[in-house]
Structure 1
Amino acid sequence: MSDFTSNQNLLFSDSEAMPHQAKQQQFLKFYLEPDTKIMLPVEQITEVLKIDLIQIIPIPEMPAWVMGVHNWRGEILWMLDLGNLIGLNAWYEQENTTPNCTAIVLSTKTTEQIKEQQSEKTSLGLVVTRVEDIEWCNPDLVQSPPGAAITTEIAPFLRGYWLREDGEMILTLDGNAILAAMFKI
């Protein structure tokens, strides 16, 4: 799944063949420890990477959720521990048996509220436990979670949750909010 962009084109071209999914969007479903299912809109994702942890260069005096930087296609890609950012288990606390990690390259245009003087695309690497698959979801079905279920760490990044027909609950995050967190440091 390393060339996510080319797979994205194949997935989007099928919308004519699936009229029942005309109002639906594609989301990438992934997991964070402890077994939390999350999704982000596919249009905010450029690629999914498998990288060796030694390729992430730590930067001193950064928040714990900033793992460091990685050379991605000749550019500096800030690598974030998404679990740590939203109040779940940090990457270093997990029982990892491999020196590799999975990272989702989040790329989205910044809004004026995030960075007024920048209108170009900005990218971040989100280190996650594992990437699962693509989900079709009508964004109108994403519900606001009850206030008691929201922690202060996840609240700024949470769009809501989607309850699948089989009862599986998947949290939906806002990629722009994740980018905004990076600009605040």
Structure 2
Amino acid sequence: MSNVLLSSNSSLPTIPISEQLSSLATQANEQFLRFHLLPDTTALLPIHQLTEVLTIPRGQIVPIFQMPAWVMGAYNWRGEVLWMVDLGHLVGLTPWYQQAASGSAYTAIVLQAKTKSSTSTQANSEMLGLVVNRVEDIEWCHADWIQSPPSASVTPELVPFLRGYWLKNNGEMLVIIDGNAIIASMPKQSV
């Protein structure tokens, strides 16, 4: 069988089926970074909202007083101040300081969002570090597979940052978080 879509009009170019399927797949699919929060939450963040995954030695995040409890402090990242947030604590899960210390380093995701200031028409870029339990891999998810979760199944703290969830064929539920919503909700003195 040929891998070329035949046309009844010979003046039209033929397009290989594999190219057509690849084009359709990239139009509807989105790439996400898969990571874990304790105790047992698996979440996804859109790849286009991320800059880097860091391993930060414990003691390198400098605590800053009079900040919300979920702000762990500041970290020197590439000569810039990067505010570090305990993502699990922010979304209503067990805070890092209440978890048994495992390992000598934190895993953090550098989130980048484009925001417009009210005084300018140009987009600014804001960065924020999200401390998570561990990072796994990349997931491809079709936009039509993302569903709205029942309100009783998520913590109230997670709701403002929730884009939806994806129930995979194997029954695994992955929470999809909107990084732009996280950055937009940060106190302006902390980011």
**Whole-Å Cα distance in 1 between the matches of residues 20 and 74 of structure 2?**
41
Paired with 1:67 and 1:117, the residues of 2 have a C-alpha distance of 30
Pairing 1:130-141 to 2, within 5 Å after superposition: 130-141=134-145
1:145 to 138, 143, 149: 149
8 Å CA contact retained: 1:124, 1:179: yes
Structure 2 CA distance for aligned equivalents of residues 154 and 165 of structure 1:
24
Of the three residues 156, 160, 182, the one matched with 1:156 is 160
Normalised by the size of structure 1, how large is the TM-score?
A: 0.84
- What are the Cα deviations for residues 118-173 of structure 1, in whole angstroms up to 9, with x where unaligned? 62111100000000100000122110001211322111011110011211100000
Equivalences for residues 161-176 of structure 1 within 5 A: 161-176=165-180
Post-superposition CA distance 1:79-114 (Å, at most 9, x none): 00000000001111112222200000001102x4xx
Q: CA RMSD in A?
A: 1.8
1:102 and 2:104 matched: no
The alignment covers a number of residue pairs equal to 167
Whose helix fraction is larger, Structure 1's or Structure 2's?
1
Residue 5 of structure 1: aligned partner? none
Larger Rg: 2
The 2-side partners of 1:96 and 1:77 are apart by 22
* Matched residue type, 2:101: N
The answer to whether the aligner puts 1:73 opposite 2:75 as a matched pair is: no
**Structure 1: which 5+ runs fail to align?**
1-15
| CA deviation map 1:10-31 (0-9, x unaligned) | xxxxxx7971632211100000
Match of 1:50 in 2: 55
Sequence identity (%): 55
- Name the SS for the 1:55 alignment partner: coil
Q: List, as ranges, runs of 4+ consecutive aligned residues in structure 1 with deviation greater than 2 Å.
A: 115-119
Report the AA paired with residue 152 of structure 2. Answer: A
Matching residue within 36, 61, 65 for 2:66:
61
Tell whether the 8 Å contact from 1:21 to 1:136 is kept in structure 2 after alignment: no
The aligned amino acid for 2:30 is: Q
Match of 1:37 among 28, 36, 42: 42
1:30 maps to amino acid: F
Separation in 1, partners of 2:154, 2:106: 27
Distance (Å, rounded) in 2 between the aligned partners of 1:17 and 1:67: 47
Give the TM-score, by structure 2 length: 0.82
Query: Aligned in 2, Cα 1:18/1:73: closer, same or farther, shift over 3 Å?
Result: farther
Structure 1 pair 83/17, CA: closer, same or farther in 2 (3 Å)? farther
For residue 156 of structure 1, give the secondary structure of its aligned residue in structure 2.
helix
Question: Which amino acid counterpart does residue 101 of structure 1 have in structure 2?
Answer: Y
